[in-house]
A and B are shown apart, each in its own frame.
Chain A
Amino acid sequence: MKSYIVQLAATRLLPVTLILSLLVFYRGHNEPGGGFIGGLMAAAGFIFYAMAYDTAKAEKKLRVSPLMLIVAGLSFAFISTLPSLFAGNPFFTGEWISLNIPLLGKLKLGSPLLFDLGVYLAVWGVIITIIFNVMEE
């Protein structure tokens, strides 16, 4: 059941979902959103793509294996626990630095952001790993 319309829609929608998911991930700190929701959205885009074509094509589109997403996600999450140790604070304390970037203004970066990125990647990877595997059956 391959429909050209669905395939076209999936191809066009994939970048949109990804950008949207990044947006949701980024604004999550101050408004509804966050790594978990972002990860689910990114996964949804790829799953739609896999349903339109097949999982092999979708994995090709992803370029890295879903397992790599998981590995990267968990690693980021664990790495984000470390800065607190160097700062001498209790384990997992959020550490922030603010950068002054010309034109954009003040940018606050912190270990929770890295952690959230880890959540984003891990959730994305886990969902597509599970669904792709079941779809391949």
Chain B
Amino acid sequence: MTGILIYLIILLITALLSPILIRKGGKTAPWLLSMVSAAGFAYLLGFAGFISKGNALNYTIEWLPELYLNFSLYLDGLSLFFALLVTGMGSLVLVFSGNYMKPYPMKHRFFFLLLLFEFAMLGLILSGNLFTMFIFWELTSVSSFLLVGFNHEKPEARNAALQALLITVAGGLAMMAGFIMLGQMAGTLEINQLLQSGDIIRNHPHYLPALLLVLAGAFTKSAQFPFHFWLPGAMQAPSPVSAYLHSATMVKAGVYLLMRLSPVMGGTPEWKYILTITGAITMILGGYFAYSQTDFKKVLAYTTISALGTLVLMLGIGTDISIKAAIIFLLVHALYKGALFMIAGLIDKSVGSRDLRKIGGLSKVMPTASLAAIISLISMAGLPPMIGFIGKELIYEAKFALPDIGNLLLVAGVTTNVIMVAISLALIFNLFLGPLKYPGEKPKRPAFALRIGPALLAGISLIFGLFPARVADFLLSPAIKSIRPSIDSLKLSLWHGFNEVLLISFITVAAGVVLFLLYRKVNPLLTHFNTKVLTFRLADTFNNGLNMFLYLTKRKTSFIQSGYQRFYLMAIFIMTSVLAWYQLIYTWPEIENISFSKPGFFEMMILLLIVSSTLIAVLVRSRLAAILSLGAVGYGIGLLFIIYGAIDVAITLMLAETLVLVLFMVVIYHLPKFANFSSKASRLRDAAIALLVGGFMTGLVLKAGQLNLNPKISDFYVENAIPLAHGSNIVNVILVDFRALDTLGEITVLVIAAIGVVALLKLKTKKGSAT
């Protein structure tokens, strides 16, 4: 397991070094980077034998075990399956990008980000602790943001990137709260321990809120309705990114999380209904929008949403067969969708357009790529002999086996699949077969590096379809067993014999063909409907909401941050004293019961001094006199401290009072005389605030005398001042030894204040001298 950690580190280092490599390495650099990823794939594949026997590996570095925070890695069937997907797709996409990104001047950044994403995604998959996972999860969001906004000079790309980031990160934060709740319930965040504590969590009173929070993370990441809209927007990213992040791996992170946690949180009615309903809506919605698009990439984006919906739906159903179907469909989808996105990029690059109305018959110029695309599309349609057929059959079977809502889901599933068949056929016959059509120059045969990825993926789709049993034993069964250990081995074959499922498949295909024949007539109508009639768009609503929020924040800020110190002080004084009063009122009876000792002659004289100075300060009409009388108040209080024996405080207060007085004098020297006095209304307001604050301070002092806080603290200081700190002045010992860190903070703040004063004054002089 240490090996896997080392591999993760190697991947990160590769990412950091990739910009240099891409700049200096020329043509071979992307191949080298791809080899790093492929090596990871091979290394992980080496674990398959061990894992398929039902073993799991765990590796933990403790960080804050008291808060359940550890860095852990966990490898079982499920994470191995995903990890292979991430590294395998990664190496193909890196090769593809090597050629695809050639014209981009910033391509070295692109490779860095792509590898960083691979690191983050692999880390997410292999995390053995939910917090480790959360950190990698957020890192995938950030790298996705940077990759979607890679063409940052385009405003649409920036906007789409921001939207994707805000939605996934908001979901991620909710998810973190959910993880914390899970940790509190189970007393651990380690996945291998959480898997044992499913019963505790499901029966916990906080199960539902925790579930909703975790689902918020999973649904935003996996583009489930109503958060699905960021995914089509994310198609602004270069095609390799769409192939890698937004179809094969990152958007599946949410599905992965659901699979990971389904033994922990799954199986309850809440889980079942939320997942099935959300999944079904997403599935149908994705299908409808896919059918009505004209941009090849957008079609793929919406079919991805639909596929993600199907996966969530399967996990929601939660029967043995639906979990099998989910795992297989996940593999199926990654294979064909990755290939198709790469082909979309390839077409975009060599034809210069992705508009389905303008291009066609591409098999005449790019035979290999077209063959790969056709194979992948057949898999997407769920036709034999592809692995997609097996996936679809299992999905139907899963829905069949469901007693209550199965029929409804079956109808939804069939509808979606009919659409998939129609789209696949439309793409096959219009885009790849048929007469050659292109908008600009005659397209060239795409480069080898562009063709190899899709061709390999399509080949795998075909081979897995023909020989499914091997894959099932080796990879899929262990993955399924780590979701539900009770499931017996997966038996896959292309031919099930005649049953209801096969019959429905026939119906699906037939209906799909009909829908395909209508495609050319219906598609323009639907496009028109989508753009003209259906003007409500979630993405726009989101943007409007965001703008509204920004506007409100601006208003709020300009209201609160008035720029006048008197208003700031007023706000602080009023808030503090009102909050304190709220508490003081409750304890007022106790304060009333305080008995006072009779003050002596000195105290009375000092009190007289303080009170009369205060009155003078308020009433006098000259600033100088007002400040001097305020100083007198301060000295009076200092005298009181001397009488009651707090010499340190008294000295400090006297000195501070003197210096403040000096400071005031220096400032006043520059000010004109009082020209106009404040109005009666504002004076009344100030008086009210002053009374409020003064009363609060008085109450606080009285209350403080009554409180009997833990006396051990002061006793501790008294007892330990000499033995521990070698000083008998307790005040000073507290300042420089017991609570020295506080003092360090305080002097640092003082220094910052001094720098602030210097900066303000110097800034003003500069401006003054300029005018």
- How far is B721's CA from A94's CA once the two chains are assembled, in angstroms? 12
Question: Is A125 a contact partner of B725 (Cβ separation < 8 A)?
Answer: no
The answer to whether A74 touches B648, judged by C-beta atoms less than 8 angstroms apart, is no
- Say what secondary structure dominates the interface of chain B: helix
Once bound together, how far apart are the Cα atoms of A28 and B733, in whole Å?
9
| A136 contact set on B, CB distance < 8 A | 761
Known: A43-B659, A51-B662, A131-B666. A30 touches B727 (CB 8 A): yes
Using an 8 Å CB-CB cutoff, how does the interface string of A98-137 with B read, 1 for contact, 0 for none? 0000000000101011011011001101110111011111
B757: CB under 8 A from chain A? yes
A35-71 vs B: 1/0 string, CB under 8 Å? Answer: 1110011011001000100000000000000000010
Answer yes or no: B585 CB below 8 A from chain A CBs. Answer: no
Q: Does A131 lie within 8 Å of B729, measured CB to CB? A: no
Q: Distance (Å) between the CB of B695 and the closest chain A CB?
A: 31
Q: In the complex, which residues of chain A have a beta carbon less than 8 angstroms from the beta carbon of B726? A: 29, 94, 96, 108, 110
Given contacts A40-B655, A41-B655, A131-B662, contact A119 B729 (CB under 8 A): no
Q: CB distance A29 to B733 under 8 Å? A: yes
Shortest Cβ distance from residue B667 to the other chain A in the assembled complex, whole angstroms: 6
Mark interface residues in B641-667 (1 if CB within 8 Å of A CB, else 0): 000000110011001101100110011
Let me know if B758 and A133 touch, CB within 8 A. Answer: yes
The one of A33, A47, A70 in contact with B751, judged by C-beta atoms closer than 8 angstroms, is: A70
- The A interface is mostly helix, strand or loop, or mixed, namely helix
Interface size on A, residues (CB 8 A): 48
Cα A114 to Cα B724 in complex, Å, equals 17
Which listed segment binds A: B78-86, B702-710, B735-743? B735-743
Asked if residues A40 and B736 are in contact (CB atoms below 8 Å), the reply is no
Chain B interface size, as a band, is 35 or more
Interface set, chain B 713-751, CB cutoff 8 A to A: 724-729, 731-733, 735-737, 740-741, 743-744, 747-748, 750-751
Closest to B747 in A: A122
Closest A-chain residue to B738, C-beta based? A94
A134 to B647, Cβ gap below 8 A?
Answer: no
By the criterion CB–CB under 8 Å, are B652 and A37 in contact? yes
Smallest beta-carbon distance A35→chain B, Å: 7
Residues in chain A near residue B667, CB distance under 8 A: 134
What's the Cα separation between A134 and B740 when bound, in Å?
30
Check B732 against A28 for contact (C-beta < 8 Å): yes
- Per the bound structure, the CA–CA distance linking A117 and B667 in Å amounts to 30
Chain B residue at smallest Cβ distance from A35: B736
In the complex, the answer to whether B648 meets A125 with C-beta atoms within 8 Å is no
Nearest CB to that of A71 among chain B residues?
B751
Say yes or no: A29 contacts B652, CB within 8 Å.
Answer: no
A47 to B747, CA, bound (A): 20
Compute how far the CA of A51 lies from the CA of B726 in the bound complex, rounded to whole angstroms: 40
Asked whether B401 is an interface residue with its Cβ less than 8 Å from the other chain, the reply is no
Q: Does B688 contact A (CB under 8 A)?
A: no
**A-B complex: 4 closest residue pairs judged by Cβ atoms:** A29-B727, A40-B655, A32-B647, A34-B732
Give Cα A123–Cα B652 distance, bound, in whole angstroms.
12
B753, CB-defined interface residue at 8 Å: yes
Asked if residues B732 and A129 are in contact (CB atoms below 8 Å), the reply is no
Say whether A40 contacts B750, CB under 8 Å.
Answer: no
- Inter-chain CA distance A133–B759, complex, in Å, is 10
Residues of A contacting B670 with CB < 8 Å?
137
Minimum distance in angstroms from B122 CB to a CB of chain A: 36
Question: Contact at A126–B754, with CB atoms within 8 Å?
Answer: yes
Does B652 contact A131, Cβ atoms closer than 8 Å? no
Task: Jot down 30 A-B pairs with beta carbons below 8 A, ordered by A.
Answer: A29-B728, A29-B732, A31-B729, A32-B648, A32-B729, A37-B648, A40-B652, A40-B659, A43-B659, A44-B658, A44-B659, A47-B662, A51-B662, A70-B751, A74-B751, A80-B740, A94-B726, A112-B733, A123-B750, A125-B754, A126-B753, A129-B757, A131-B662, A131-B663, A133-B758, A133-B761, A134-B666, A134-B761, A135-B666, A137-B765
